[in-house]
Amino acid sequence: MGTFAFIKNAGENLRELIELKVTEAVAMIGQTPLSLELANNAAAIAIADYVKKMNLTAENLTITFDATTATVYVQGTATTQEEKEKILLCCGNIAGVAHVHSRISHTDVVSEPVFYIVGSGDMLIKIARELYGNANAYMKIFEANKPMLSHPDKIYPGLTLRIPV
């Protein structure tokens, strides 16, 4: 449980689905609270649809969004810590999201998650060498971030990766 920080201007672009509503709602804060509520709901639905598109599930999964703080709130019970972490990463690696507050639990018992924020010039091989001491372990990182990653070379600065221990 807790809040995880993400780079707000990096990630999957769902703005086509939610940007107009969120921008409109933020501009009208205090004037029309209902518009903000509608925009938050539209963003939450778009994020939940993205998680489903990645074939990630959790029991009683609930996703809400607060445009004023750019925070996604995630609640439910995942089967594994890996599934939980992937859901959190899907929610956070979206342009416009700065924080993900996790209220999601998992039924297996393992260690705390390790995340890595991709910097300029980073490649999975370089990250694997840095974290594992073995550049050939890059596929371990790639596999841990599927289905969000479609190819080991398709990473970008600001992307947050799950690092398996």
List, for residues 88-134, the tens digit of each pLDDT value: 988 988 888 889 999 988 887 666 678 899 999 999 999 999 999 99
Asked if 105 contacts 77 with a C-beta cutoff of 8 angstroms, the reply is: yes
Domain spans, the chain: 2-106, 115-162
What phi and psi, each to the nearest 5 degrees, are found at residue 126? -65, -45
Top CATH class, 115-162: alpha beta
pTM for this predicted structure: 0.66
SS3 163: coil
pLDDT at 147: 84
Q: Which of 33-42, 126-135, 156-165 has the lowest mean pLDDT?
A: 33-42
Helix 33-53 to helix 15-27 angle, to the nearest 10 degrees? Answer: 160
Of 53, 79, 76, nearest to 148 by C-alpha is 53
